[in-house]
Structure 1
């Protein structure tokens, strides 16, 4: 028979039986749901060509579609918000209530309300005291969980209860296990006796916790296991008298994934980080490591978030290094204390003003060479430390600060460091005068310091006025600027002058203590935009044609008496066609009487996606290029290199990017780049690249993440350099080779990566070693195990793969 009861009555018994707790934020798909193609927008996929990709979410699609407790009903509502407004329906073969207070239900008892369902062989319920007693094949399901027991009893109003012989499953957070007894002390606190917990498939636990007791606190989102063993298969791996683990996505203290690695500089490494959730606004991570060739290290990271202030302190400390020092290193580190300190802070002062600090210091310049990031990352030759006060308004911004550097190349002296900027100040203004006219300024003051080199201060002032005329179909943007740069030199400026960042010098002394330079900078930028409907291979597109002319005039000023504090010649590319200066920094301003002609065409599909972009341009010179770096020659070319670039979105899965420069003066290729990226299936990506710059480099690279199956992915990256004539100690041969494999299952991910690479310290600046030792190669191996649902995502391998493989997730 079926009977309708008022809300919040009998099915409240079912709510009390939910001993695990309510639903939590989903970490995977609905049980049994197959993964959709990431290209249909159902998953967060890294767009082609992106340099920063979101983390790959946990993949639970390979879990068994039917790995549910046997009474799971996928047709039951998943909307828990309707509970309070829904009626409760009770079905049983027999209902007996002589006093209409105590109800005796028997024979296939079923109670349903919204997303909740309780089933049992028999059930007793007291409507006055809200005591309940369900017996025989007790089953409960709601939007977030399943629970089975032989018997459950308790009090609904007090949210207390006890269940025997429990099997449970969290539908959204994947947790499941068994317990001999479950006790609910209130709505948020539950204890399980002789219990297990895992995020693997029900009945197929690749790993699990077994504890004498497991308590779940929904207030804190934590589970605590006591007298527990962590097992892989049936093998006890670790005994833990006390262990805390998450039951939702909130932060909590506990061990993060351990990492095992090996490098030729430091030996085998074991890392066992422990996360401390000290408070909602600050936390810490303790990462004790053991290096077999160097000793024990402690890496401590502390993060804080206070009103108006946030920051981080990271300290790596090795009390006694018993490893070997490289024979060519400038510092002997054997038997010494070694450390690396990173501190960053951002503090709001008042209104729009902020104070930012970044302090980075090391005990010696071999720290990154010996330890690096275990797998080795991008070479770090200098550690920068600085502090800055900055602020701004609608039309202006300003900053005041200082920057210093520490040498981190063990094979070079401090002469290789950039100049310290102690202090510097910047003020920039961009003020609209009316709808088409604006006035601005770019002002900079810097004091440059470097022992043993010419020092001094520099003021660079650039007021300008510009106009912007046009419509969506055309534009004309004239601009007039005046640049004044002056110096106050010190520290032996009459004895010698040094140029460049690596300390290459000249015997010609500076003859003025206060040299200066003043000149106007005049430019006119103009262009047209045409568009039309076009058809290609049966597809409709909008094609644009965008011709552009850019005229630049800067009179010549002899600048040989000006030092080079922070200036170098920039690489020529398409955007240099429209730049007012080919030098970085303020120590050199090129002379110009140039006209740039360029044209761009684009193909846009009906959705507005740019499928093709092609550009071509050249600068025509009406005056010789007299301003050069030391050692450079005056050029009297009639035109610059021809510059072309092409970006082609071949499909939703393939993208091609290329650029090319050809010099009509030397009749040789100055630069060439080709990059092809494609998606392989759902989780794969492949990249091919070729890079060439005449007289500097010629490199080939390939990288891929190749999905062999839903569970297995191969990972690889390779970079090869051809020798370049005229470059001292050029990089040649295989610069880097990386190979790895990733295994993904329902509840465990395994990663193994091996990387062979040219270590920092070479790169054209190390004196040649004995034959067979000139490459300064290093090798690193790392193994990582991720137990899904037990802590943070990612690990130490992910940052390297993101850097080496474009589009890696």
Structure 2
């Protein structure tokens, strides 16, 4: 008897791996049962303080342990590679081989080889024709799946087979279901009648896909379903008379899950995307959307990957907007509206590449009206750029342009920063010896903007930097020279710092080509002391790190220089060691300063920093004379302070359960607190956490921010966030939601109440409300998946 061929028949009768293949590889279904009282639903937690947490992996840990078809044999090997070297063992109560061509096995037939096991009441096999017929409680098991049928018959040589009353289970992906009839047409094609599929527990399908007929072609990687319905809690909610789907990792054109939403600006929205698999290296997605208050919008995405090039183009177009927004500052009713986003990275040659990012809209209200999430609508400026970039071991360079578009409907275009049209940079960092480096930062920019002063700027910043260090000390002297020159446009005399002058006001500009040149010298020194210590019974290494930083920059009068891209930076701990308090090159502060700072750290036995505390202050030996202008023609008075704010920072994370951060600034000049922040994060098990923060900046804001993810049980989590402004005496944002997780379905419902942050005074007090719903079918994806991005941005540490 040829048992190896008979086992090949049994493998073929698995009918191409089941009707649908789920896109996951979590083998919990075949895992042993968990001990009583333990939870297997936990996942690795995001590190405390992380702003971007990875999504939680799809887990089936809440499914019933060993929820398998009843004939599963856990003692079989799980390695299919053992088949070629393993013997085949045949066991049956009766064997009839009176006909030399036909073998008849009966009575609890069992045929086993490695991970394969075929069982049945009776199996007949014709060695001449390769016909086979298995009848009565037929069961087949291998490493990847289980299958049972009332009867299996077919032909091995022709790769044909028919199974009746089929039950199947895919062990690696949890997919399982039934079919009234399964037919293997040849080695690559199979067909099923009255078939079902789900990733839920066998016999307990909370969701299920049913199809009148299903065809699978493994050669093309395409499945075809006729008369398909998707059911939730045995209630049909989606019907498709015909659709195709991929049965392997190859991409396949077809419809994706529909999405829906609602907003007070555009009404209810419904969209159903269609994916186009155009070629192995490029594809597209078309997404028609219907807005009840706006009309029909067509969105699209095109992606490509070529040798040395990859990119993506997104567009949205809505003709003849019929929304009623005539009261807006820029009405759009009756106009065509569009959005364009394009990004590309292309390798040119050697170390050079070309990067571009283009983002444009038809009007300033587009993102507010059609934003895909609640945060997109709050973007105020869209940036576009295109650059040729190059880099080497000791150099980097770029040449390109930056442009900006105002997309805030309540703010004038004058608030948008200058276009840098074009801009070129060159950076050098050349080691001369092991302790001495020569470097330079060079930038040439042409600034363009309507109705204000325009011009070109060259900023050259060469330096020599030395680094002397030992195990417990360092000395870093640095000598630099900064030269900045301008070439202003011919109309320079008509403009002041803030815009056109009128009347008899005098212009601060008396030179079309102003410049500034000055040396910059600094000396950064520090010591590092260490000692062993203990805290709460745990041993640590404590460091004490005093640091002195001296900075000298002579004063240069810069009142005749325009302000193109320069702002005063927020004062914080790292500003204690910065050579300039201004961003951009239009202002270089004068300095004769000495910074004194002290830091202490606690390091555990593995070198992980568990506590860091720092305090520092700048002592000014001369007044800070370089200031930004108060108005169109006047510059703020020099600062005659002799000391800066005391700046303190604290970070504590003694274990992986909680984390504390704090920053504080107190001014000895005004004897007031200028800034105070406090942040606390506490993890609750592996599924929950609590965040609390307090933010204060004098004369600007004072807010409390609390958020939480609280697990009620393995299946239920409560979500919430509350932001309160003390200055406004009102709630800025409130968010509440609930998550339910089960074996094969997850549900999120989130409500959000928030205040409009920008706009005219009459608009700022208005509030908006949003309700979001998401239903996740594990193994198939999310239906209307919109809530996760909102929760990630709103709750620190959300997964």
TM range (shorter): over 0.9
Say which SS state the counterpart of residue 30 (structure 1) adopts: helix
CA drift at 1:98: 4.6
**Structure 2 partner of 1:286:** 286
**Structure 1 partner of 2:26:** 28
Q: Does 1:802 align with 2:792?
A: yes
Trace 1:405-804 onto structure 2 (pairs within 5 A): 405-499=404-498, 508-631=507-630, 632-723=636-727, 733-759=730-756, 761-762=758-759, 766=760, 768-769=761-762, 773-791=763-781, 795-804=785-794
- In 2, the alpha carbon distance for the partners of 1:545 and 1:116 equals 66
Say which SS state the counterpart of residue 83 (structure 1) adopts: helix
Q: Give the paired residue count.
A: 786
Is the Cα–Cα contact under 8 Å of residues 748 and 786 in structure 1 kept in the other structure? yes
Give structure 2 stretches of 5+ with no counterpart: 631-635
Cα 1:560–1:270, aligned 2, differ >3 Å: closer, same or farther?
same
CA drift at 1:100: 6.8
Cα 1:56–1:34, aligned 2, differ >3 Å: closer, same or farther?
farther
Trace 1:380-399 onto structure 2 (pairs within 5 A): 380-399=379-398
**Structure 1 partner of 2:12:** 16
- In 1, the alpha carbon distance for the partners of 2:664 and 2:189 equals 66
- In 2, the alpha carbon distance for the partners of 1:144 and 1:395 equals 54
Choose 229-238 or 432-441, whichever is displaced more.
229-238
Cα 1:598–1:113, aligned 2, differ >3 Å: closer, same or farther?
farther
Give structure 1 stretches of 5+ with no counterpart: 724-730
CA drift at 1:264: 1.7
CA drift at 1:44: 4.1
CA drift at 1:510: 1.0
- In 1, the alpha carbon distance for the partners of 2:293 and 2:719 equals 28
- In 2, the alpha carbon distance for the partners of 1:40 and 1:754 equals 30
Is the Cα–Cα contact under 8 Å of residues 258 and 784 in structure 1 kept in the other structure? no
CA drift at 1:471: 2.7
Deviations 1:380-399 (A, max 9, x none): 11111121111111111110
- In 1, the alpha carbon distance for the partners of 2:426 and 2:40 equals 47
Cα 1:34–1:135, aligned 2, differ >3 Å: closer, same or farther?
closer
Is the Cα–Cα contact under 8 Å of residues 257 and 785 in structure 1 kept in the other structure? no
**Structure 1 partner of 2:364:** 365
**Structure 1 partner of 2:633:** none
CA drift at 1:508: 3.6
- In 1, the alpha carbon distance for the partners of 2:171 and 2:39 equals 26
Cα RMSD (Å): 2.7
Q: Does 1:194 align with 2:190?
A: no
- In 1, the alpha carbon distance for the partners of 2:83 and 2:269 equals 53
Is the Cα–Cα contact under 8 Å of residues 260 and 783 in structure 1 kept in the other structure? no
CA drift at 1:157: 5.1
Say which SS state the counterpart of residue 378 (structure 2) adopts: coil
Say which SS state the counterpart of residue 11 (structure 1) adopts: helix
- In 2, the alpha carbon distance for the partners of 1:712 and 1:483 equals 60
- In 2, the alpha carbon distance for the partners of 1:445 and 1:39 equals 61
Cα 1:257–1:90, aligned 2, differ >3 Å: closer, same or farther?
same
Is the Cα–Cα contact under 8 Å of residues 44 and 54 in structure 1 kept in the other structure? no
Deviations 1:211-260 (A, max 9, x none): 12112344565533112222223333232121234555654444433333
Deviations 1:696-746 (A, max 9, x none): 2111111222222222222222222222xxxxxxx6622222222222222
Is the Cα–Cα contact under 8 Å of residues 499 and 630 in structure 1 kept in the other structure? no
Normalization by structure 1: what TM-score?
0.92
- In 2, the alpha carbon distance for the partners of 1:38 and 1:635 equals 64
**Structure 2 partner of 1:726:** none
Say which SS state the counterpart of residue 11 (structure 2) adopts: helix
Is the Cα–Cα contact under 8 Å of residues 682 and 689 in structure 2 kept in the other structure? yes
CA drift at 1:134: 1.8
**Structure 2 partner of 1:727:** none
- In 2, the alpha carbon distance for the partners of 1:449 and 1:205 equals 63
Is the Cα–Cα contact under 8 Å of residues 662 and 670 in structure 1 kept in the other structure? yes
- In 2, the alpha carbon distance for the partners of 1:341 and 1:391 equals 27
Cα 1:738–1:535, aligned 2, differ >3 Å: closer, same or farther?
same
Trace 1:71-470 onto structure 2 (pairs within 5 A): 71-98=71-98, 102-127=102-127, 130-156=130-156, 158-218=158-218, 222-247=222-247, 251-325=251-325, 327=327, 329-377=328-376, 379-470=378-469
Cα 1:576–1:151, aligned 2, differ >3 Å: closer, same or farther?
same
Normalization by structure 2: what TM-score?
0.93
Say which SS state the counterpart of residue 486 (structure 1) adopts: strand
Deviations 1:562-621 (A, max 9, x none): 111000000011111111111000001111111112222222222333221111111121
Is the Cα–Cα contact under 8 Å of residues 260 and 782 in structure 1 kept in the other structure? no
Is the Cα–Cα contact under 8 Å of residues 173 and 247 in structure 1 kept in the other structure? no
Deviations 1:305-332 (A, max 9, x none): 11111111111122122222162x3311
- In 1, the alpha carbon distance for the partners of 2:279 and 2:33 equals 39
**Structure 2 partner of 1:58:** 58
Deviations 1:640-696 (A, max 9, x none): 111111111142121111111111111111111111112222222221111111122
